[in-house]
Amino acid sequence: MRTSGEQIWRNEKQKIEEVALKLQLENNIINEFTHFKRDFGFVIRLERDNGDIEHIEGWRVQHVNPYDTGRRPYKGGFMRGMSVSRELCRAKAAWMTWKCALIGPMEEERIPFGGAKGGLRCNPRHYSLREKRQQMEKVAKAINPIIGIAKDSLGPDAAVDAEDIRAFVTAYAELNQDKGIPCGAIATGKPLENCGGGCPGRLLATGRGMHYTYEALKKLLSSFAHLPKKPRALVQGFGNVGSAYVALAESFGITIVGVSDVLGGVYNASGIDAKELAEHNAKTGSVINFSEAETLKNGEFLHAPCDILVLAATEAVLTGANADGVQALIVLEGANGPTLPEAQQNLSERGIIVIPDILANAGGVTVSYFEWCQDMQGIFWTEKQINQLLKNYMIGGAKRTIRFAEEFNTDLRTGAYLAAFAHCAPAVRKKHGWTKSPQSLF
Ligand code: NAD
């Protein structure tokens, strides 16, 4: 049975309390982190191609913004899926807060955003392109009162692509044309084609950031020394994140041995050609039946032999029931929240290192930040410059994570949370004029 959004949000609140205790943060801060600024629900009425009207529920949650809203926005993706719920949006919004507070090249320089997330509860496979674009137009209308370029800016997340974002931005611009402000920064992950206003490198940014993170940790941690020179990666999920990771793997010295999507997986111990697999997926709509590999059922896929298990599909896929079969030395979280706490415990006890989501997949929001800056300033970077900046930001996040994990003798996930809280707590106090409790370490 799938883990509910309610359970995921409960787990997140427990994690926040556990980490806050280590830093001896006061109740004001704990309450701020375990709540949210706004939790906005809405319903859109979609006109289906057959003339039916369908009511679809959606949410936009703004978690914590350590900066002044109006100057620095909340930031976070928008998704489609049957598991989307108010509580899932809350948990994912909180992860955005932590990512922004963690990632940055230098101590004082982080991604200056609060965390947000939104989504529609629907099955993305059920809609035509026209219906999907209309969904985004209706979402723009529904959340228009609570968003803005310096208030809350969207991005793509699960089952939302660049053309969805274009439809959203166009609708938002039409709704707000009388205000006389440029609207590009209302969302990032826009397409580059046909003057879409996108940022070079954004499409591959999450996957590229995962490679940069892995490389930084490998350089800095002796526990990575036992990994082979050319590690074998097994990748669950072949959407925005998974396909980008796979496309770049060879250039980072990694052999892809298996890839899966919602329909099943394919595996070849001698390696899978990324380009051929992408072509097969584009033609058939799935990775299954790829001729150069054996087919695996989703249940057995996560247990196939590999050095790095890349989770790039969805939340709550590694559980207490299936973690034991994982053969990897490293679990790299491209998805948000793919490892449940009981699975994390199992992996840690077996010496398997988990590179946590809030660090590993933050490349997406990092390049979204660059795209937001471009739109706000009208100054543009090349793809080479964007990738170099991304690398610097991810290395900063990785170093910070290690520093806190070592100082508190804990795992990388807790280290990443500690580093994020150590930045966020003082900023939140400052924003609200609260004084620091004498016990608090940060
Ligand atoms: P997507 O919808 O583009 O792709 C998801 C992929 O996972 C698809 O191939 C789908 O078939 C597969 N999948 C879904 N459920 C599965 C299951 N139970 N077993 C196996 N495969 C399954 O989504 P995405 O944008 O790539 O996002 C994936 C994850 O990464 C999400 O958790 C998302 O929040 C996170 N994320 C996305 C971004 C981004 O920029 N898009 C950035 C950071 C994190």
The answer to whether the CB of 434 falls within 8 A of the CB of 419 is no
Identify the residue whose C-alpha is closest to ligand 1 atom 37: 157
Using one digit for the tens of pLDDT, what is the confidence trace for 168-177? Answer: 999 999 999 8
The three-state secondary structure class of 71 is coil
Tell whether the model's pLDDT for residue 1 goes beyond 80.
no
Report how far ligand 1's centroid is from the alpha carbon of 236 (Å): 9
Q: Output the pLDDT for position 196.
A: 85
Q: Which of 411, 223, 235 is nearest to 335 (CA)?
A: 235
Range name among 60-64, 222-226, 302-306, 420-424 with the lowest pLDDT average: 222-226
Tell whether the model's pLDDT for residue 366 goes beyond 80.
yes
Tell me which H or E stretch contains 259.
Answer: strand 255-261
Residues 6+ apart with CB under 8 A from 348: 354, 411
Q: In the chain, pLDDT over 70 holds for what percent of residues?
A: 100
The answer to whether the CB of 293 falls within 8 A of the CB of 301 is no
The answer to whether the CB of 367 falls within 8 A of the CB of 205 is yes
Q: Return the structure tokens found at 293.
A: 């590999």
pTM: 0.97
- What are the helix (H) ranges across 153-302? 162-175, 202-220, 240-249, 274-284, 298-301
- What secondary structure does DSSP assign to 350-410, as a single string? TTPEEE-HHHHTTHHHHHHHHHHHHHHHT----HHHHHHHHHHHHHHHHHHHHHHHHHTT-
Nearest-atom number in ligand 1 for the CA of 240 is: 26
Backbone angles phi, psi at 266, to 5 degrees: -130, 150
C-alpha–C-alpha distance, residues 332 and 310, integer Å? 5
Report how far ligand 1's centroid is from the alpha carbon of 158 (Å): 5
Q: Output the pLDDT for position 179.
A: 82
19 C-beta closer than 6 A to ligand 1: no
Identify the residue whose C-alpha is closest to ligand 1 atom 38: 157
What number of other Cβ atoms are within 10 A of residue 181's Cβ? 12
Report how far ligand 1's centroid is from the alpha carbon of 119 (Å): 14
Tell whether the model's pLDDT for residue 127 goes beyond 80.
yes
Residue 229 identity:
K
The answer to whether the CB of 380 falls within 8 A of the CB of 198 is no
C-alpha–C-alpha distance, residues 331 and 300, integer Å? 16
Using one digit for the tens of pLDDT, what is the confidence trace for 91-122? Answer: 999 999 999 999 999 888 999 999 999 999 99
Most confident listed range (180-189, 300-309, 371-380): 300-309
* Pocket perturbation via mutation, ligand 1, pick of 75, 202, 261, 295 by most ligand atoms within 8 A of CB: 261
Tell whether the model's pLDDT for residue 86 goes beyond 80.
yes
Backbone angles phi, psi at 166, to 5 degrees: -60, -45
Number of H helices, E strands in the chain: 14, 12
Q: Which of 359, 375, 418 is nearest to 103 (CA)?
A: 359
Annotated catalytic residue within 75, 92, 117, 151: 117
Report how far ligand 1's centroid is from the alpha carbon of 70 (Å): 31
C-alpha–C-alpha distance, residues 376 and 67, integer Å? 17
Q: Parallel, antiparallel, or unpaired for β 232-236 and 255-261?
A: parallel
CA distances from residue 4 to 114, 298, 412 in whole angstroms, order as listed: 25, 20, 25
Using one digit for the tens of pLDDT, what is the confidence trace for 245-296? Answer: 999 999 999 999 999 999 999 999 999 999 999 999 999 999 999 988 999 9
234 C-beta closer than 6 A to ligand 1: no
